Every structure is written in structure tokens, then in C-alpha cells.
A and B are shown apart, each in its own frame.
Chain A
Amino acid sequence: MGMTMTQKILADHAGLQSVSAGQLIRARLDIVLGNDITTPVAINEFTKNGFDRVFDKDKIAIVLDHFVPNKDIKAAEQSRQCREFACGHCISHFYDVGKMGIEHALLPEQGVVTAGDCIIGADSHTCTYGALGAFSTGVGSTDMAAGMATGEGWFKVPSAIRFQLTGQLPPNCSGKDVILTIIGQIGVDGALYKSMEFTGPGVATLSMDDRLCICNMAIEAGAKNGIFPVDEVTMRYLEGRGERAPRIFRADPDAAYEKTVCVDLSAIAPTVACPHLPENTRPAAELSDIQIDQVVIGSCTNGRMEDMETAYRILKGRTVAPGVRCIIIPATMKIYRECVERGYVTAFIDAGAVVSTPTCGPCLGGYMGILAAGERCVATTNRNFVGRMGHVTSEVYLASPATAAASAIAGFITPAKED
């Protein structure tokens, strides 16, 4: 029996000829990641259990991104704990205010992760790096601590669902509409414990930013990981980034999949996930009766350069609707700088939006855009659970940057019109 792409990477990192679904393995880790919320818990566990050195200072990434620049004293203490640990152990991939970004936009951009890697991160959206052809999955703080101490992690080898992509996306549709459509179809536990392996001729038509967005939300279908094959788009993206050479793994032709889901990209429409689950999807065009109070464009899902380009294309020369707060958050300092240089920030401000330095802040109801009782927000983020962005009666509608920007101008939910 052949192996899926995920199984190939896991077998390689476990030092085994082959693995099969359900098998428990120990695998070597290329990167162990944590942020300012999950790392303090990991440090406490690491220290409490008597570990005093990390397995490899170059294979640990600590990114302060959730509550920075610090939102309050307690958050500042947590950041300081991360900073002191990173400094004490000479962690080379430590990103503080000034060079940080939202972790899942930052690590691919900086070349910290690459094709063929086996990565764990104490953040559920660590599955993002599957877009590069890596095995990458979210874990908790104790797993992070164990990974930092030993350089290994335990895994149950997942089975896979294959998503066969064909066609090409219509204008004003992006990776976000693809993954929301898929989650709407299979549900929030539709890929529980499994890999989502994307394949087919449609893959070549998707940009790296689209792929990163799609893999980012694999967790929202319950998946262990999402993964794309390595192709020319991947190799072009990886060129000149990173210290390690990419390693290319391909699924065997006779790999076993639990099922195959066909996705015709040309049939995708602007899609919105209504409260309070990412599976509650509706076409954006059918939601024009939903008046909104706020729009957030950013996050590890949609704060990348293409997302900023889309927001700029729609907002330039226009005005955010009265009564709507529009918050735009480029995901990394590099993207932020690019937005300044290209004049996007001026255009956003002229449109009546605000532009923040990188932070996860509003996505998880941390700060920088908390919702009051009953308020409604269109967000390019990834979760719309009860209370996710503020008061328990507030509502989050998940959408693409195009839909979010168009809705900011309209004052109600609407897909972007063709330009």
C-alpha cells in the first residue's frame, strides 16, 4: 500500500521505510514554535520538569504576536518571560516587537520553515505551513516543552481526505472562499484527525498566499494538517529563503485516501461563514440584510501581501460607510513596510480605515477591535465562535479580504463587484 504525502514526510522523520494510518510514531522535528500566550505555559512545564537546555537553539521559534505591543501589564509579563527564556537559551528565531509578525505569516516569509519539514507549533494554525509542502500541526504547550527538550514529537499517523482541485477561481474569489466552501461542505469535524491533501490541476492556478490561507483553516475542519504538493509556485516562493534546502515528498500513486472530494474552483463564489461556526457558510450575495459595525482585514489567515493588494484595490478612492470601523492589520513588518511604500496605508487612511502594526489582537478578542453586545463584524480571520471577538452576543462573519473591503464600503455584507 502506498503512502500519502503526509505519511511520506512522517516516515522520513521517524526513520522508517513506511508508516500506515493509525500507527503511533516518534518523529524528529525541524521546527518547534510557540507564541506569547502558549510559550509561558511551555516554559513553566519545561522548567518544572527539570529540563535546563533546549535540543537545538536554531530549531525553536518564539514569536510574540498575540498581545503585542503588549495590551496590559499581565501580557507584558508574559512577553518578558518569553524574552528572557529566548535570550537565556540563545534562541535564534526569536521575534520581538519591531521585527515580529503574525507567526504563520512570518515563518514562511522569513524562510524558517520549508518543504519537507516536520513542524509542531503551540498554536492551532500551525497547519498553515502545509502550503509549502511540509507536515505541520498545532499542539499544546506541554508538547512544545517536550519538543524543545527532545527535538521529537509523538504522532498518530493520519489517514487522509484528498481534495481534487480543477478549474480556476473567478475574479474576486480567493483561497478564503475555497476553504470556507470546503468547510461548509464537510463540517467543522469533517476532517477530524485526518490530513487534507490538496491535489489536481487546479493547484497550479493558486498563488502561495491562497495556499497558505487554505492550509491555515484546515484546523477549522478538525484536520491534523493540510498539505499542498510542491510545484513551480512553491519553488519560486522558496527561492532565496531559508537556511535549509527544501525536500520534496510526493504521495505514492497508490496511496490510500478515505475519500476524494472534487472542488471545481471556477464554481466558487464569494462565501461567508455566519455565526457561530465556520461551517455555517452562505453566499455573500445572499447576506445583504446584515448591517455591520466593524470590519477586520488581517490575521494569520488573510494579512498577507495579496490580501493587502485586494483591500487596496477595493478601498482606494472610496470611503468606509458611516458607522463602520474598518481595521486593517498587515501580518508582518515586511508587509507593513511594503504597504507604506506602495501608498496603501495612505489610501486606507483616506478611506477612513485604521492601520495597525502586526498583531493577532482582534481575531481572538484580545484587543484592537473588541465588539460590544450585539455588534456585528465582517472579519478575514478564521473563527466565529461565541464571544470570539468580544461580547457573547456579538457576531463574527468570516469572509475574504475582497468581501470584507466591499462590505466596509457598503455598510452591510456584500461581495466585491468586478472592477
Chain B
Amino acid sequence: MNTQGKVFKYPDNVDTDVIIPARYLNTADAGELAKHCMEDIDTGFVDQVRPGDILVAGWNFGCGSSREHAPLVIKTCGTGCVIAKSFARIFYRNAINIGLPILECEAAAEEIQAGDRVDIDFDTGVITDRTTGKTYQAEPFPEFIQNIIRRGGLLASLKEA
């Protein structure tokens, strides 16, 4: 499994209120919600993002509310992966549970720039910046979490168990 696309870069502490503002949470329709993804910090994101594109951010990505709508809108926009220096813990759980690929990699999150073309190989955790030619190795998921991802999310994994 892999993804490739263009990078959108964001700072530390991107919170779930800017990923999907609560004023839109009167619906659970992912397509409807996705129209507002990132709009409070990046009004151009929704129009510019293409399938496979990659979000790169700093520390504590997804802090704040537990709203699962946050990873859901990022995924629904077609984003192939989020790379960050670290993730807030509820966002991390939610991303795994709904099948949004995320990778923790401090060096990649520091060096990769907005607009770079990046390839990611999820089997090996290798991140390649095609623009600069540099490669990075992300932290692999623990076996337990890899199982959830392989089975297509938490609930699907429960049904199989």
C-alpha cells in the first residue's frame, strides 16, 4: 500500500476545531462536512487538495475535541496520509479506527516543505520527498494496531474476532 501527492504544510497544535469547526457538526454526513475541512486556517485547502495529497504538520496534530469528524473529513477530502511530529491521542485512535493513514516522523515533518511531491510506502514506513530526493523512515505501528488497520478498522476487526 502506498500513496503519492503534493504536500500541504501546517504548524504545531493544529486542533480539531480548525480541521472541522463545530458550527458544522449538526450533520454526520462526511461529504457535507468535508466541504469545510481546514477552512479556519486554510481557506484554499478544499479546492486545491487532490486524491493522495499529504498533510505535513508539527507537534500535537489533532489536539482538542474527540470529534471523529476530524480524521473523517481529512480522509473524505482524498488525503492519502498525515505526517506529523506527534499526534494528540484521541485523534491518533480515531484515525486508526476509521482507516486514515497517519505517520509519526519528526525529521520528515521538519524538512518536507509545502508543495513538495512525496511518496509513502506504508509497508516499510519509508517516506520519499521526490522534490528534494531525501528519504525518511517513520515509526512502525505496533502489531496490535497493524491488525486493526489490516482488517479495515476497529469494528470490522471486532466482527472477525
- List A residues at the B interface (Cβ < 8 Å): 24, 37-38, 40-41, 44-46, 48-51, 66-67, 71-72, 74-75, 78, 121-124, 126, 138-143, 145-146, 149-150, 154, 188-189, 192-193, 219, 222, 224, 277, 364-366, 370, 383, 385-388, 392
Contacts and interface: CB of A to CB of B under 8 A. Distances in A.
A224 B87 CA distance: 13
B48 interface: no
Nearest to B40: A387
B64 A150 contact: no
B67 A140 contact: yes
B22 interface: yes
B107 interface: no
Interface in B6-20: 13, 15, 17-18
Interface string B44-84: 00000000000000011001111111011000000000000
A189 B144 contact: no
27 contacts: A24-B144, A37-B22, A38-B67, A38-B68, A41-B28, A41-B69, A49-B156, A72-B26, A121-B66, A124-B65, A139-B94, A140-B66, A140-B90, A140-B97, A142-B94, A142-B154, A143-B94, A146-B158, A154-B144, A188-B13, A189-B63, A365-B21, A365-B23, A370-B23, A383-B17, A383-B65, A387-B40
Closest 8 CB pairs of A and B: A140-B94, A140-B68, A74-B26, A364-B22, A142-B97, A124-B66, A49-B155, A189-B60
Given A44-B28, A139-B93, A222-B88, A387 B155 contact: no
Given A41-B69, A150-B158, 20 more contacts: A37-B25, A38-B66, A38-B68, A45-B155, A74-B27, A78-B27, A78-B28, A121-B66, A122-B68, A138-B66, A139-B66, A141-B94, A142-B97, A142-B153, A145-B155, A154-B144, A365-B17, A386-B15, A386-B17, A388-B22
B86 interface: yes
B60 A192 contact: yes
B139 to A, nearest CB: 13
B58 to A, nearest CB: 10
Contact of B63 (A45, A154, A222): A222
B70 to A, nearest CB: 9
Contact of A192 (B71, B89, B94): B89
A139 B18 contact: no
Contacts of B60: 188-189, 192, 222
B133 interface: no
A157 to B, nearest CB: 12
Nearest to B41: A386
Contacts of A40: 28
Contacts of B156: 49
Contacts of B158: 49, 146, 149-150
Nearest to A37: B25
A409 to B, nearest CB: 29
Contact of A277 (B13, B23, B26): B13
A49 to B, nearest CB: 4
B106 to A, nearest CB: 13
Contact of B17 (A24, A72, A370, A387): A387
Given A142-B98, A145-B155, A192-B86, A385 B68 contact: no
A87 B89 CA distance: 32
B89 A193 contact: yes
Contacts of B67: 37-38, 140
A122 B17 contact: no
Given A49-B156, A392-B40, A222 B23 contact: no
Interface in B129-153: 142, 144, 153
A140 B62 CA distance: 12
B38 to A, nearest CB: 11
Contacts of B88: 189, 192, 222
Contact of B18 (A48, A121, A386): A386
A44 to B, nearest CB: 6
Contacts of A387: 17-18, 21, 40
A294 to B, nearest CB: 17
A222 B28 contact: no
A124 B90 contact: yes
A172 B33 CA distance: 42
A195 B28 CA distance: 31
B21 A146 contact: no
A142 B68 contact: yes
Contacts of A51: 155
Contacts of B89: 192-193, 222, 224
Contacts of A121: 66
Nearest to B91: A140
Interface string B94-118: 1001100000000000000000000
Contacts of B153: 142
B15, B28, B40, B71 — most chain A CB neighbours (10 Å): B28
Given A41-B69, A188-B63, A49 B17 contact: no
Nearest to A142: B97
Contacts of A150: 158
A239 B58 CA distance: 46
B144 A71 contact: no
Contacts of A139: 66, 90, 93-94
